[in-house]
Amino acid sequence: MTQSPVKSRCGFVAIIGAPNAGKSTFMNGALGEKIAIVTPKVQTTRMNMRGILTEGDTQMVFVDTPGIHKPRRQFDKAMVNAAWQASSDADAVLLLVDAQKGFNGDVQRILADIAEVKAPKILVLNKVDKMPREKLLPLMGKAGAMGVFDHIFAISALKNDRIKDVIKCLKGYMPEEPFHYDPEDLTDTPMRVIAAEVTRERAFMLLGDEIPYSVNVETVGYVVQEDGSIRIDQNILLERDGQKKIVIGKGGSMLKKIGEQARKALSEMTGAEVHLFLQVKVREGWASDPHLMRSLGLSDK
């Protein structure tokens, strides 16, 4: 454990919400670095990912979670469980809500369950940059009347507007405890896992509507070479053979695009030259593989 000053504060903040509310964008904005992937599609985040913010004598460990939705597959169920697990372990819970969508069915379902969470609850109405003020005020009134939340904020995670106010509020809820992590650390997720996420983000962005949910990426090799460049070998796993030609594309064009974009992002992230090698494989039923779920920190129960 890292030495830290007496009276330091350290605690966990779970970021929960419906898919696409902007949870990962919020965490990246709070850290000032992108560690969690973000796409316009729902269910981008598949596992809990910790982001560590150390400011002065306070360390806040954010836990970005998968969007809470009505699960269909076993894999979805495990994702939703992971979000609730993070909430029950947290010192404070942020419920992110897309203010434009308001308290729709997805959010209502979360509200029904959130009462059981013991930690202080903070409502963050996000994406207010897309919202006229006259629509926001009634929403805030409605939220206040619920009597569920200790604080309510209206922010834009994308524009980094008022994230700081939320952080300031959270600091007060962090218990007096030694730091859990080195103050220099941003996350405890290994780089090879983040590298797989980056490629999955690119595949999510470039592929149509359905295929992304059948895609998983695993890093099978991550080697810093003598000249400082990094060689990364990854498998893109698909559920069915028929999906292969879509992911590879005409003459390999789609795979090339995914690879180029991922390589560029990884190179920016690591500050090193990256050599990325992608292989497309079919692994039927990867989404119900208990070994994979465990490796993502998802319980298959």
Which one, 110 or 157, has the nearer CB to ligand GTP? 157
Site for ligand GTP contains 260 (CB under 6 A): no
Window contacting ligand GTP (CB under 6 A); options: 86-94, 121-129, 204-212, 286-294: 121-129
- Number of CB atoms found within 10 A of residue 221's CB: 10
Neighbouring-strand partners of residue 59: 10, 54
Member of 158, 205, 248, 282 binding ligand GTP (CB under 6 A): 158
Q: Is 2 in the site for ligand GTP (CB under 6 A)?
A: no
**Number of residues in the chain:** 301
Does 44 bind ligand GTP (CB under 6 A)? Our answer is yes
Residues facing residue 217 across a β-bridge: 236
For residue 20, state whether it binds ligand GTP (rule: CB under 6 A): yes
Give yes or no for residue 191 binding ligand GTP (CB under 6 A): no
Q: Which does 206 bind (CB under 5 to 8 A by kind): Mg ion, ligand GTP, none?
A: none
β pairing state of 121-126 and 49-55: unpaired
What are the φ and ψ backbone dihedral angles of 59, each rounded to 5 degrees?
Answer: -120, 125
Interface residues with Mg ion (CB under 5 A)?
A: 23-24, 44-45
Coil vs helix vs strand at 128 = helix
- Asked if residue 191 lies in contact with residue 270, where contact means CB atoms within 8 angstroms, the answer is yes
With CB under 6 A as the rule, give the number of residues binding ligand GTP.
24
Closest approach, Cβ 37 to ligand GTP, in A, equals 7
Closest separation in Å from C-beta 200 to Mg ion: 12
Q: Is the dihedral of CA 21, 24, 29, 31 positive or negative?
A: positive
Cβ pair 64, 37 in contact under 8 A: no
Q: Rounded to the nearest 10 degrees, how much is the dihedral formed by the CA atoms of 35, 38, 42, 43?
A: -20
Q: Which one of 11, 17, 120, 212 is in contact with ligand GTP (CB under 6 A)?
A: 17
Q: Where are the alpha helices (DSSP H) in the chain?
A: 23-31, 74-88, 105-114, 133-146, 163-171, 191-206, 244-248, 253-270, 290-295
Q: Please pick, from the candidates 33, 55, 113, 129, the single residue that binds ligand GTP as defined by CB under 6 A.
A: 129
- Give the nearer residue to Mg ion in terms of CB position, either 8 or 64: 64
Q: Which of 8, 45, 234, 235 binds ligand GTP (CB under 6 A)?
A: 45
Per-residue x/- marks for ligand GTP, 63-102, CB under 6 A? ---xx-----------------------------------
Interface segment toward ligand GTP; rule CB under 6 A; list 18-26, 181-189, 200-208, 257-265? 18-26
What is the crossing angle of helices 163-171 and 23-31, to 10°? 80
- Give the separation between CA 251 and CA 17, rounded to whole angstroms: 40
Q: In the complex, what is the shortest distance from the CB of residue 287 to ligand GTP, in angstroms, rounded to a whole number?
A: 16
List 13, 38, 47, 193, residue binding ligand GTP (CB under 6 A):
38
Both tokens of 291, joined, read 């070994």
* The residue to which tokens 């994230």 are assigned: 163
Q: Which stretch binds ligand GTP (CB under 6 A): 19-27, 85-93, 108-116, 191-199?
A: 19-27
Binding region for ligand GTP (CB under 6 A): 17, 19-25, 38-40, 42-45, 66-67, 126-127, 129-130, 156-158
